[in-house]
């Protein structure tokens, strides 16, 4: 608890005393001591000792842009914002076996041709690292390997003018500082070990990559402050049984956050996927109800994925809502909007929603695509396979515009899609011309209400097709 300290200060010379006296012992002046209240200080805080004044500078000035170390792995460079910045610290997290150590070993091998690289493992021996490098075809790369756990030994080795320019620490939960009595992996050990390594990297100017274990909730194990200490936080996403791996930047001081890099796990390690949209849509079926293509944005990259919905009768009083790759709360909201504004009934049906390819969609622009897939699943009317859909749905049933419309349409046109269902633009003149230029001959259908998408693919469309078929048979 903060406390106030009282002291008696001489008005002649400035000397302070804990008790009042008639004469100042410093200068000899009489009746010069006046009681003053000292500054508040917390226990074990700064105390009364003054620090030196810091120097402020203005916003206007010239600062050199930090140089980048290009790894040659385009997907990794994209996630990092264009390459590694000297003196930066990266934190790479993900589930066990997802590919964290593999991709960092590949990055170290790619950088070793132009600068010194070191891989320090606290979990594997040097022989195990060599076996992995041989399996990945990187045995001839000039990467320095070491197996160590002591942060004091690592700092003593790297604190030299000829230190490697890129260092991998695998993992930060296995490192320990001998000044602390706690075991490796505890909050104090992880925080102190990371602090010492990051401080050394910034002082010596080399890049350090820390591998972090995750908890069952998918968060980096250890203190939350660990993510604040580093410059870039990367998460590996995807199922180990699936061949796709998505490296997502959730924090980046030198680039855009939410940028993704797509990799494919093969026998030779992780290979880049330069066009993830084509790969996500490679196994898509044709005229199948309940499926549509969503044009999304991941960072600065447009990505096209397929959204699949299945409606089945429920045998229980409480229907099931199973969601993979999307927010379950947003699905519940969208089902309520379709029931209240469009008259669709989901109360007695199980609803299953899946984003194909293992990608997790987080932006609200997928609302309209999910609504189209739900309406198609209810009616059995397939969404045209050459159409892409995106837009945000409000609680009143309105369709709201989303950002990066031109980039989404350009990606769809590049992959051969012929039509797009998009929201009505706010600035109709300028945005309409930009969208039409980006579409490159695509047919644009602009809608403003969610019931319009239901009329296109919902039960009304199915009833209309049945009546047309009956008239054709009777005529």
Q: What is the reported pLDDT for 165? A: 94
- Lowest mean pLDDT across 192-196, 298-302, 343-347, 469-473: 469-473
pLDDT exceeds cutoff 80 at 30 = yes
Q: How far is CA 232 from CA 81, 187, 216, 262, 472, in A?
A: 10, 20, 22, 18, 63
Q: What is the reported pLDDT for 172? A: 94
Mean per-residue pLDDT over the chain, rounded: 86
Q: What is the reported pLDDT for 229? A: 93
pLDDT of 317-353, one tens digit each? 889 999 998 999 999 999 999 999 998 989 889 999 9
Q: What is the reported pLDDT for 1? A: 45
pLDDT exceeds cutoff 60 at 80 = yes
Question: For tokens 């990266």, what's the residue?
Answer: 90
Q: What is the pTM of this model?
A: 0.76
Residue 51 pLDDT grade (very low, low, confident, very high; cuts 50, 70, 90):
confident
Per cent of the chain over pLDDT 90 is 50
pLDDT of 149-171, one tens digit each? 999 999 999 999 889 999 999 98
- Lowest mean pLDDT across 53-57, 64-68, 96-100, 461-465: 461-465
End-to-end CA distance of the chain: 91
DSSP H or E run through 375: helix 367-379
Q: What is the reported pLDDT for 16? A: 82
Q: What is the reported pLDDT for 225? A: 85
Q: What is the reported pLDDT for 335? A: 95
Rounded Cα distance between 24 and 400, Å, is 76
Residue 429 pLDDT grade (very low, low, confident, very high; cuts 50, 70, 90):
low
Higher pLDDT, residue 256 or 371: 371
Per-residue pLDDT, averaged over 239-263, amounts to 85
pLDDT exceeds cutoff 90 at 307 = yes
Rounded Cα distance between 181 and 153, Å, is 17
Question: For tokens 């070990």, what's the residue?
Answer: 193
Q: What is the rounded radius of gyration, in angstroms, for the C-alpha atoms of the chain?
A: 31
């Amino acid at each position: 608890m903060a406390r106030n300290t009282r002291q008696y200060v001489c008005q002649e010379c400035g000397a302070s005393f804990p008790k009042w006296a008639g004469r100042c012992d410093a200068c000899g002046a009489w009746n010069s001591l006046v009681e003053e209240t000292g500054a508040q200080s917390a226990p074990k805080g700064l105390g009364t000792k003054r620090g030196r004044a810091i120097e402020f500078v203005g916003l206007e000035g010239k600062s050199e842009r930090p140089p980048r170390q290009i790894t040659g792995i385009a997907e990794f460079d994209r996630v990092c914002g264009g390459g590694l910045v000297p003196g930066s610290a990266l934190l790479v997290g993900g589930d066990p076996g997802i590919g964290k150590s593999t991709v960092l070993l590949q990055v170290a091998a790619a950088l070793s041709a132009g600068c010194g690289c070191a891989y320090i493992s606290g979990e594997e021996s040097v022989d195990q690292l060599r076996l992995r490098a041989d399996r990945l075809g990187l045995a001839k790369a000039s990467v320095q390997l070491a197996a160590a756990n002591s942060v004091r030994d690592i700092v003593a080795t790297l604190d030299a003018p000829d230190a490697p320019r890129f260092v991998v620490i695998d993992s930060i939960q296995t490192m320990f500082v001998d000044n602390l009595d706690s075991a490796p992996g505890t909050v104090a050990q992880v925080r102190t070990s990371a602090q010492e390594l990051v401080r050394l990297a910034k002082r010596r100017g080399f890049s350090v990559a820390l591998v972090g274990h995750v908890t069952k909730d998918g968060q980096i194990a250890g203190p939350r402050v660990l993510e604040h200490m580093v410059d870039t936080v990367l998460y590996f996403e995807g199922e180990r049984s699936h061949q796709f791996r998505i490296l997502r930047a959730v924090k980046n001081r030198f680039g855009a956050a939410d940028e993704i890099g797509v990799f494919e796990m093969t026998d030779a390690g992780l290979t880049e996927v330069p066009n993830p949209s084509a790969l996500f849509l490679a196994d898509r079926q044709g005229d199948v109800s309940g499926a549509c293509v969503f044009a999304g944005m991941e960072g600065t990259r447009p990505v096209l994925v397929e959204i699949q919905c299945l409606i089945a009768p429920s045998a229980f009083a409480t229907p099931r809502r199973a969601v993979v790759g999307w927010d379950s709360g947003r699905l519940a909201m969208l089902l309520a909007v379709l029931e209240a504004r469009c008259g669709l009934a989901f109360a007695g049906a199980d609803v299953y929603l899946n984003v194909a390819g293992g990608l997790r969609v987080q932006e609200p622009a997928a609302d309209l695509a999910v609504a189209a897939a739900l309406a198609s699943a209810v009616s059995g009317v397939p969404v045209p396979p050459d159409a892409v859909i995106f837009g945000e749905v409000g609680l009143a049933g309105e369709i709201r515009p989303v950002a990066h419309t031109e980039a989404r349409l350009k990606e769809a046109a590049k992959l051969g899609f012929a039509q797009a269902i998009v929201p009505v633009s706010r600035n109709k003149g300028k945005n309409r011309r930009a969208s039409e230029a980006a579409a490159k001959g695509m047919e644009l259908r602009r809608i403003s209400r969610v019931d319009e998408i239901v009329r296109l693919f919902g039960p009304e469309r199915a009833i209309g097709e049945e009546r047309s078929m009956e008239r054709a048979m009777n005529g």
